[in-house]
Amino acid sequence: MSHNRRDFIKYVVVGSIASGCPINHALLAEPTGGGPLVEGEHFSVCHQVRDGHSFPRPDATKKADVVIVGGGVAGLSAAYFLKGKDWLLLEKEDHFGGNAYQEEYEGQIFGTGSAYGYRGDAGDQLAKEIGLDLPLVNMPDPIIDNGRYAPDIWRTGINELPYSKDVIASFKKFRDDMMKIDFKKNAAQLDTESFTKYLAPYAPEVTKLWDAYGPSNWGAFSEDTSALIGIADTQYLLMGEDDKRVILPGGLGCITHKLVEALKPHYGERMLGDATVVAVVPDKDEVHVTYAQGDKITTVAAKAVLMCTAKNITSRLVAGLPNEQKRAMRKMRYAPYPIVNIIFDKPVYRKGYDNWCPGKTFTDFIVADWTIRNNPGYKPKYNILTFYTPLHESQRALLLNEDDCKTLAGKVLKDFQGLLPEFNVDPVEVRIYRRGHPMFMAVPGQYTQNRMIASKPMERIFFGNSDSGGPESLTSEAVRISQAGVEWANLVLAGKPGATELAERALNLALF
């Protein structure tokens, strides 16, 4: 393409930036020329909650058996599992799906995060129940580095890695050494240590790869990664567990999209968007949930509440938390994580599904329509590539400014175009989805210790979301924990014993 065409690539900057809260698109107009179009909603209420602002708490004018706070995959699946019960779902955005949200470009579906699930996991089971058949990825992960492509990192392609013989030998030694560690038997100890300790004896390229893989999958670079998570995922890759990956275009947003389609016709009046919860206050026999919707503040009285929000937000909403539990929630760390979708109007890359590019502005990129590319009659007009671009915590402020986001996306495009000569093609559009705190970080102690304290239910409040499970941020865990939350709520509503024990079993089930 000409230089003039490059100047007019359209950049669209979308999404959450502060504690999961986005910006007000009504305040910004689309610039002329090649500037960014900024979309999103108002986040000032979320900032006020974060900063401890005291909102009015009017008397309850609504009642519900169960109030669900948060309309991401955890909240939507909770609503689905509640079925005929009296529930109310409150979501701060004007749409549902959270971080598992699908988009489309001229009819072609792509994802904005939450890339894939696994055959038989809780997400895949839910997908089948609502009529989705998630096909297998059926492709090991390639790597592109030093101007070379290798089709498989850890197994049959390890001899083809784009490195010297000595470095490849170091990869093999790391592989063999990691397989000797019994991470299940030593889980408690390994979860107190940094993964860096176990990477230090090997070539720097090994750490370089894990400093791409870790931030993309669990939000943390090697130095901040629990050795338990790093070693467990190493063995998962070496044993070919990634062969079980399943997905449709849209990533796991395909599940939330289908859930909304299934729920809205029957329960649309119970699904409130643009409803930002500002306080959750336990009372004698109920919980008062106060939310802001436009200029109106409303309180609903619930018999039980399912908090399907990240713990850093939850800790600022729920009154009466025990001090130790509040500290555990606040101790959780969350990665700033923009996603960049680059849309080409010609075929650019279709050699692998999830492609690792260590040392670049992005960690990896995914071919959006990979699992349907060979379907009979499928003729896509666009080649859409999804780039995963996790940042260091210190870089979170970059997401506050649309010019910084546009610059970041430009670096992603430049890095991609420089990987291989055939990638030097200009796109028709670049979309940046900015999320300030979407993924909890798998830091030492989080999985075996901290989350157990943070997620303990109160008498009438259950703490769901993927950060109640683990070991990393998984849609399947959000679904599984929500299903347990619904079982817990049913016991609470019926006045039956065993709700606390049920929740404890659900949390312990996630442990290795």
Q: Where are the domains positioned within the chain?
A: 49-98+253-322+443-509, 143-239
If one looks up domain 49-98+253-322+443-509 in CATH, what number appears? Answer: 3.50.50.60
Mean pLDDT of the chain: 92
Q: What distance, in Å, lies between the first and last C-alpha atoms of the chain? A: 51
pTM value is 0.92
Q: Which residues pair with 343 in a beta bridge?
A: 384, 429
Burial level of 133, CB count in 10 A (0-12/13-18/19+)?
exposed
Q: Which band of pLDDT confidence, cut at 50, 70 and 90, is reported for residue 15?
A: confident
Report the distance separating Cα 47 and Cα 37, nearest Å. 23
Residue 36 pLDDT > 50: no
Least confident of 18-27, 217-226, 343-352, 431-440: 18-27
**Residues 6+ away with beta carbon under 8 Å from 133:** 127
Domain topology for 143-239: Guanine Nucleotide Dissociation Inhibitor; domain 1 (1.10.405)
Closest to 464 in 3D by CA, of 74, 76, 21, 96: 74
Residue 83 pLDDT > 70: yes
* Intrachain domains 49-98+253-322+443-509 and 143-239 with the same fold: no
Q: Which band of pLDDT confidence, cut at 50, 70 and 90, is reported for residue 48?
A: low
**Residues 6+ away with beta carbon under 8 Å from 496:** none
Residue 486 pLDDT > 70: yes
